[in-house]
Amino acid sequence: MDRKILGISGGIAVIIAVVAVMLFTPNLESTPIQKHNEKIGLVINAPHSAISLQDLNQIYSEASSTGIGRSNVYLFWNIVEPVRGEYDWKQSDVLMSFNKNNDLKVTLFFSVINGETLGPFPNWIGKPSLNAIGEDRLVNILDAILSRYDIIDTVVIAGETESQFRYHEQNIPVYKELFNGVYAKLKEKHPDVQIGNGFALHNVLNKNLEHIVSDLAIGDFVAFSYFPVDTLNDIVKTPEEAKVDLEKTFEIIHDKKIGLFEVSWSTSDFVGGNETSQQLFLEKSFEFYTENESKIEFFTWYRQYDRPDGTCVIDKPEIANQTLTVGGGSGLGSSEYIMERLSHYICNSGLLSVDGTPKSSWNEFKNQIELIN
């Protein structure tokens, strides 16, 4: 998923480069326009990489008008602390300001584990192994972020965690020790912030990795992203079957709340999607939420806008920073084949098209939140 860089890539880096004066600050008071449900979220993204602050302000306002009460921010260590002990808040201040001004809480994704890779880390850290990341260094950076932004009430430290340990289960105790140490120290300073790890539910189910999730069910909650796809990134579920997949989270996790970090359904016919099935799954996913609300920490839909085809997979750091291995023959099952489908899936998973035209799911999303509120 390109979630790991979405929060700072959807035009933000361009904005930082071209705007000399910050128009928003992280301390502006928000002016709520309507009731916002803090458990319901939307990943807010721009449809293009080059966008103005005025346009981004409109995008956030548009998202906030649905009644959501939170969004995800994907913030990386190498961006915030490029030099040891020296913080760069320019990009994160923009993001957090838009969230605060629209009365949105923030689920922070901080990429210690990013699927099969670790980081990205600042150059001064290098490329550490899990046992060399440094508990105190991780506590210091997260404490700095949480102290600066009081709208962050939830932190996902690791994402697609199952992929990191699929072939390296011997490293699970190392990560548990790191997480538990960081958790204890952060809770002393920020007792109201909920902290957990994330897993890709479709990967877990497709590859029979439930035992890894159960073993790493530590912290305050267990977060899940979900695509209704097979291992080739083709949509193979009906909306009803996808709801059953969501229900399986409670079979895997028995004693903690779950967080639905990124729930999605693509409308790309390239991978077997369409607007009708997206709307039906959105209805089913909200049905799942209302039936299990007391056991759910948060529910966030992925994402607001489509992006132009071919612009999404490069956002995923572990893809962008590696050379893909292409298989022989037709390419079926090769990385190139799989990534092509992932790109189509992600680029067409929004509730609004690239030009802003609402899909049927956009109105359904607003209606569902209104019913809950």
Count CB-CB contacts under 10 A for residue 83: 10
Q: At what angle do helices 275-291 and 360-372 cross, to 10 degrees?
A: 10
As given in the structure block, the two tokens for residue 184 are 């204890």
Give strand ranges (E) for 90-142: 105-114, 117-118
pLDDT in tens, the chain (373 residues): 443 333 333 333 333 333 323 333 434 344 444 689 999 999 999 999 888 899 999 999 999 999 999 999 999 999 999 999 999 999 999 999 999 999 999 999 999 999 999 999 999 999 999 999 999 999 999 999 999 999 999 999 999 999 999 999 999 999 999 999 999 999 999 999 999 999 999 999 999 999 999 999 999 999 999 999 999 999 999 999 999 999 999 999 989 999 999 999 999 999 999 999 999 999 999 999 999 999 999 999 999 999 999 998 744 333 222 222 222 233 334 688 899 999 999 999 999 999 999 999 999 999 999 999 8
Measure CA 119 to chain center: 15
For residue 284, the Cα-to-chain-centroid distance in whole angstroms is 20
Residue 306 makes CB contacts below 8 A (sequence gap 6+) with: 47, 267, 347, 348, 349, 350, 352, 353, 354
**Secondary structure letter of residue 135 according to DSSP:** H
**Residue recorded with tokens 């957990």:** 196
For the whole prediction, is pTM greater than 0.85?
yes
* Mode of pairing for the β-strands spanning 152-159 and 194-200: parallel
Cα–Cα distance for residue pair 321/16, rounded to 1 Å: 23
Q: pLDDT of 190-220, one tens digit each?
A: 999 999 999 999 999 999 999 999 999 999 9
Q: What is the pLDDT of residues 31-40, one digit of tens each?
A: 444 689 999 9
Q: Residue 130 — φ and ψ, nearest 5°?
A: -60, -40
Q: What is the pLDDT of residue 34?
A: 65
The answer to whether 30 and 103 have CB atoms below 8 angstroms apart is yes
Tokens describing residue 198:
């994330």
Signed CA dihedral, 236, 241, 246, 251: sign only: negative
